[in-house]
Structure 1
């Protein structure tokens, strides 16, 4: 068995969970699978699996090897399909992580069209405001709103969204409307960012850029929570316009301090630097970038 076939057997064992299932997937026998894995482990000088009479699990070395080899094999498969003239026949899985609110508003609506164009594609969409470890969680594509933060990542900025300071009309009827940023210290400002009780909101005035430390009775690591609180009249919030595309035209939602709010946030596609970006991921990226173009 050649080295490429050994790798395909290795991937089959990982993804099916056992030697017998891998044999069915690859059309070989269980002894042939066992021999291929043994040869691969001997050549690498490491154990890729922990074996017992009941199950087969990956070692740490096996997991790292799988994370590096899976994209390479996918790239080979993509190249073969393109060489055979089936470029549009894109199949396989892709795991995408995106912030909850942005994903619900801007990514979920285009997924049906993407699956219609690529019916053999399998999408695992993770909606979460938590920062995920791209390698450990085996994420193929991360969409970030704001700073990326991963120094070893590959980043492609695809759009930019302005910030906006907003509140519900019912809140301002009770508490008044701030006429300048410093007055926010006397208002209930809802803080996005997890355990932070205080947030520094950015503004621009005659003297240049400055920030105001704000606080309130509700903070959360979920933008959906802050958004719901603001719309319910609990307090004031700072958002990207991309997070309020439907509400900004509603008469009960009021933007404030517009002359002072000039900052923007990048919307970026991010990949792990040490992972090969497969043709499938590149095509999905291009599809989503085109779908987002002009929205902000």
Structure 2
């Protein structure tokens, strides 16, 4: 048997195994694939012999995955999906993107910078489906089924692929009305006498000076897990907030909000695009990532 035949047999074994898992049995898998039940059974048995492991628990009523079978299925199914995607692209004369891409982005940043780009992406690729989640909280991307995350904060995962596309600085800001009533802080330590609005539990704000970076503990009468809430309260004259300069765009640019303590803030944050796993990234996710990488770099 030549190498080509060996590779073909291995692909058939894998395809048969996945079909059995997804159809829930050998006869159902045979109906789905058009192969005979005996051929499906032989392929799966050959796969188990080659791996020297039992992948399926078989009974007269049901077929279930063993623990090792479940792990193998979770690793190999994306490979088949990637191959199917590649085949579809080659067979398509237009190479038109189609299918679902789930994207997660911080709420305010997403509304200001990601949503305006969506119509252009869907105009170019009308068969593409986007599921856009605007959430400020960091989540488990794999558990949530996210294909692409857009982050404006550090992200640490050994399996993730992070692509930096731009950066934005932090700013300390309040409304002109607030500063007229309460005065402007001249140094970061002055913030202890001001109503500081707390985003996501950040009660220590970082500044820099001649001796390096230092933290100032702050407090106030409003805290929230969304930047949108903090920005709205800042605009209304409630207090002072700390957030990304990228958030001061759109309607917020003309909201009579002014920054303070600029000479004491040097910290920046990367705007990054993240794949939750480095293996088997579909072509549509790669192209959507490339689109946002280019367009976000132009906006920021």
TM-score by length of 1: 0.80
Deviations 1:188-215 (A, max 9, x none): 111112xx3x522222233333222212
Q: Which residues of 2 match residues 227-266 of structure 1 at below 5 A? A: 227-250=231-254, 252-266=256-270
Q: What's the counterpart of residue 294 of structure 1?
A: 298
Task: Tell me by how many angstroms 1:27 deviates.
Answer: 6.1
Q: Which residues of 2 match residues 182-261 of structure 1 at below 5 A? A: 182-193=189-200, 196=201, 199-250=203-254, 252-261=256-265
* In 1, Cα distance between equivalents of 2:229 and 2:66: 39
Structure 2 residue 159 is the aligned partner of structure 1 residue 155: no
Q: What's the counterpart of residue 101 of structure 2?
A: 94
- Structure 2: give runs of 5+ residues left out of the alignment: 1-7
Residue 95 of structure 1 aligns to a residue whose secondary structure is strand
- Corresponding pairs, count: 291
- Residues 67 and 135 in structure 1, CA contact (< 8 A), matched pair in contact too: no
Q: What's the counterpart of residue 175 of structure 2?
A: 168
* In 2, Cα distance between equivalents of 1:170 and 1:25: 71
Q: Which residues of 2 match residues 5-44 of structure 1 at below 5 A? A: 26=32, 28=34
When Rg is computed on C-alpha atoms for both structures, the one with the higher figure is 2
- Residues 185 and 261 in structure 2, CA contact (< 8 A), matched pair in contact too: yes
Task: Tell me by how many angstroms 1:140 deviates.
Answer: 1.4
Distance 1:24-1:172 versus aligned 2 partners, 3 A rule: farther
- Residues 109 and 247 in structure 2, CA contact (< 8 A), matched pair in contact too: yes
Distance 1:229-1:23 versus aligned 2 partners, 3 A rule: farther
Residue 227 of structure 1 aligns to a residue whose secondary structure is helix
Match of 1:117 among 94, 106, 124: 124
Task: Tell me by how many angstroms 1:6 deviates.
Answer: 6.2
- Residues 192 and 226 in structure 1, CA contact (< 8 A), matched pair in contact too: yes
* In 1, Cα distance between equivalents of 2:226 and 2:60: 42
Q: How big is the alpha-carbon RMSD for the aligned residues of Structure 1 and Structure 2?
A: 3.6
- Structure 1: give runs of 5+ residues left out of the alignment: none
Q: What's the counterpart of residue 134 of structure 1?
A: 141
* In 2, Cα distance between equivalents of 1:51 and 1:190: 61
Deviations 1:42-65 (A, max 9, x none): 567456699998x99988766644
Task: Tell me by how many angstroms 1:69 deviates.
Answer: 3.0
Distance 1:5-1:125 versus aligned 2 partners, 3 A rule: farther
Deviations 1:89-140 (A, max 9, x none): 2222222111111111111221222122122222222221222212222221
Deviations 1:240-288 (A, max 9, x none): 1112212453252121112222221101111234532222211110011
* In 2, Cα distance between equivalents of 1:47 and 1:70: 14
* In 2, Cα distance between equivalents of 1:201 and 1:76: 48
More helix by share: 2
Q: Which residues of 2 match residues 73-84 of structure 1 at below 5 A? A: 73-84=80-91
* In 2, Cα distance between equivalents of 1:234 and 1:56: 62
Task: Tell me by how many angstroms 1:73 deviates.
Answer: 2.2
Q: Which residues of 2 match residues 38-53 of structure 1 at below 5 A? A: 45-46=53-54
* In 2, Cα distance between equivalents of 1:178 and 1:50: 72
* In 2, Cα distance between equivalents of 1:58 and 1:112: 42
Distance 1:71-1:236 versus aligned 2 partners, 3 A rule: same
